[in-house]
Structure 1
Amino acid sequence: MTLPAALAAELAALLGDGWRTDDAAREAQAGDDSRRHALPDAVALPRTREQVVALVRACRAHRIPIVARGAGTGTTGAAVPTLGGIAVSFARMNRILDVRAADRCAVVEPGVLNGELQTALQPHGLFWPPDPSSAELCSIGGNLATNAGGPRAVKYGATRDNVLGLVAVTGAGELIRCGGAYTKCSSGFDLTRLIVGSEGTLALIVEATLKLAPRPQAQAGLRAFYRDAASAAAAVSRLMAQPVVPAMLEFMDRRSLELLRRNGSDVPEAGAMLLVEADGGFDALPDILAALGAAADGDGLLDMDVAQDGMARDRLWAARRALSPALRSIAPGKINEDVVVPVSRIPDLVAGVEALADEHALTIVSFGHAGNGNLHVNILYHPDDADETARARMALPRIFDLALALGGALSGEHGIGLSKRGFMARAFDPATLEAMRAVKRALDPDGILNPGKLLPDV
């Protein structure tokens, strides 16, 4: 696509040095962690919401696509400008506008990095709960766009549960405000929760009011090994049924543990492992830990470790942190897709994935956030082996079909983007998809915001 000269001149005047058409700038906004790549025709780096409004209105007049960009850590291709157009980087809108400790909220621009926000909140004794694996690098805007989660989501919720309000620019170039610095509201439609997770297809977020939580005084951890995935899943059900909600509850399957042992980690032979973290006050933590330990105990438990100080907890979690890098020791190619099922169906999901691995002669490793039923299914293959690559591509839709058959969904935290867009018609009936398209038309009447993402073609 070639940008109209009039549009390029208008945006150059509007943005000054925030309007870039050089190859280096375009290349920097061409991909994400999905390894997909497509060059935008230009890059816009606005500094103010007024510039964003003017930019969208100008692009709408010329029917030019707009793709909002955060830090590019997404895994589904949602931020890749596949149709060219303008990549809007929010790197310069990176101010923490206000920390309102008394209201337990922070007001931020989308370019603030998650890790920077957490550092700024420490003196206030507060934190923002979403903690994706890329937390030090990813932007708040990207977290909002994808409804990012992480291990803490089991207790504190994902991004959508930790946003109180938004200011955003629709595809019609209108500035809208929804929500605010309050936790209870019964006034009209909940546009905040609608826009969060919409992957930049409905509006460009220019400000967010985030819900903060008090930083716990203390943490402790448990590591439990089980005979099989069914025993571990039964323990997950017990853990989630008792009154004390774990701060984190992570699952690793048999193949994960085999891989860790092969790479030198100190884990015994077992069918599955759970990592459980508790947090709370100094006085309450021993009772919390005892309750979680009692729930983790049961049929199929082989061994359990308890760690209450920081160094011991780090040792327990070392295996979880080592797992993703260890995957590369099996094969250089990796298809990493997250699916979510009801917690009670985790054994069926793991068993089904193992059966698919055997059927397609592939190594498939499953691990993730058991307390939410959200597992990361990693298909490992050699890209230079055409037959193995084909088998990996054939296994992927079978995994999605398995998750849907178990009453689950295509994604728990990564989103849809490009990688799962073609499967949305399997996940939703035509009437539901048409309702989503109607919302899209209402907020983006000309379809310029991140076209070709999330929703399948009609």
Structure 2
Amino acid sequence: MASTLPAPLDAALAALLGPDSWLTGEQMRRAHAEDDSRLSAMPDAVALPRDREQVAAIVRACRAHRVPVVARGAGTATTGAAVPFAGGVVVSFARMDRIVEIRPGDRCAVVEPGVLNGDLQQALQPHGLFWPPDPSSADRCTIGGNLACNAGGPRAVKYGATRDNVLGLVAVTGEGEIIRCGGPWTKDATGYDLTHLLVGSEGTLALVVEATLKLAPRPKAQAGLRAFYRDAAAAAAAVARLMAQPQVPAMLEFMDASAIALLRRNGSDVPDAGAMLLVEADGDDDTLLPALQALADAAEGDGLVALDVAVDGSARDRLWAARRALSPALRTIAPGKINEDVVVPVSRIPDLVAGVEALSAEASLPIVVFGHAGNGNLHVNIMYRPDDASETARAQAALPRVFALVLSLGGTLSGEHGIGVAKRDWMERAFDAPTLAAMRAIKAALDPDGILNPGKVLPPL
């Protein structure tokens, strides 16, 4: 498929970026046509800017010709947020990958959006610091992508998701203007909080070109425990007790009965149970063991089947082996998977699990639930065989029923994956008309011509 860019735009951006950074060949365009959602659409060109001024110039040129602009990190998103469905120019931040500054005294780092999460963690180790967001794709996802979808991970229960760990941003609006918000401070009552507005906006409001990140001291010691319960209700009650402790767990993961049964079938050393919690505490050598004891005491209660405690590294690895084995084990059920992250109040976890079990039986499809119990952010995995038309249809029909169930329980559509196009049309169910109108007004203020990642997050009018 040939590019359909206006010739003046093509010439202007070729002159700005040069032949190695302005790519219009089919092979390179195809390489930037999809993300981990497995959805695909060809862009008209790929731009690889080297600095914020080039990003601003790209946006201004595209605006003049009403050409869409889609920001791209590593393509690990699962909601289609980085797919250029309207064509246009994909702006890849692969070459804006500098760690500009690490400021240990201010516990912050200044980075460009193309920095890999894993590379930043390595650079912070000598300073005894880390950046808390730890999505499953941490080794290969970019900071810009983390910012775009407000990525989280298991540590979010204690340390927060991306939005909670960003101090300031430099970004390019849909008008091609460079704006600056926030900075290397942790307290600020000056003006509107544009920093946290932009985080999670999936490139629909502005393109982030620099971020000041809040860092945390690296814990000196960790320990864990694994608790098995009669059912999801008993596990949810334990989650409430665990989260009521002064020592907030560093991680608190949940698996339902179907996940446990799957692990047992694949040889994992776990007992037969209705639900499982994996809990981790962190701290220093003086405080860790008392904190772990308090968490173990909180895990005790009605419905507890078994409790394992691990202090040293190898024992902790054995406890967490089941969690690491779960995703590979899913592939033994069926090759197709619809994985959506949803959030419900912790007290409604049993209702979500029961509703999903009923849906699984009705659809005659395996559905496995696991995720971050401490903040009610669970991953619902609908398994099916793509070569079976009936199973594919039933899986696709089950997904909206999961969303409807979540909203009926007072939950929300996403905790860390974002909206993209996968959940876009459900935004009208999640928000009332005045709230959506306010969101559209913000979009119009920052991107008046609607060129930034069109068709994502907000449903069409």
TM-score, with length taken from structure 2: 0.99
Residue aligning to 2:13: 11
Residues 251-270 of structure 1: matches in 2 within 5 Å? 251-270=254-273
Residue aligning to 2:127: 124
Q: Deviations over 1:251-278 (max 9, x none)?
A: 0000000001111111110000000000
Residues 246-395 of structure 1: matches in 2 within 5 Å? 246-395=249-398
Residue aligning to 1:431: 434
Higher mean Cα deviation, 211-220 or 319-328?
319-328
1:75 aligns with 2:78: yes
Cα shift at 1:160: 0.1
Cα shift at 1:294: 0.5
- Distance in 2 of aligned mates of 1:326 and 1:26: 34
Code of the aligned partner of 1:382: R
- Distance in 2 of aligned mates of 1:423 and 1:326: 30
Residues 36-435 of structure 1: matches in 2 within 5 Å? 36-435=39-438
Give every structure 1 segment of 4 or more consecutive aligned residues whose post-TM-superposition deviation is greater than 4 Å. none
Code of the aligned partner of 1:45: L
- Distance in 2 of aligned mates of 1:250 and 1:174: 42
Q: Deviations over 1:34-65 (max 9, x none)?
A: 01111111000000100001110000000000
- Distance in 2 of aligned mates of 1:93 and 1:25: 18
Q: Deviations over 1:151-207 (max 9, x none)?
A: 000000000000000000000111000000000000111000000000000000000
Q: Per the alignment, in what secondary structure is the counterpart of residue 81 of structure 1?
A: coil
**Aligned-CA RMSD value:** 0.6
TM-score, with length taken from structure 1: 0.99
Code of the aligned partner of 1:337: E
Q: Per the alignment, in what secondary structure is the counterpart of residue 40 of structure 2?
A: coil
- Distance in 2 of aligned mates of 1:330 and 1:410: 25
Q: Per the alignment, in what secondary structure is the counterpart of residue 83 of structure 1?
A: coil
- Distance in 1 of aligned mates of 2:353 and 2:149: 25
- Identical-pair percentage: 77
Cα shift at 1:383: 1.0
- Distance in 2 of aligned mates of 1:106 and 1:254: 41
Q: Deviations over 1:384-429 (max 9, x none)?
A: 1111111111111110011101110000110000100111111111
Q: Per the alignment, in what secondary structure is the counterpart of residue 419 of structure 2?
A: coil
Higher mean Cα deviation, 128-137 or 343-352?
343-352
Q: Per the alignment, in what secondary structure is the counterpart of residue 107 of structure 1?
A: strand
Q: Per the alignment, in what secondary structure is the counterpart of residue 376 of structure 1?
A: strand
- Distance in 2 of aligned mates of 1:229 and 1:78: 33
Would you say how many aligned residue pairs link Structure 1 and Structure 2?
458
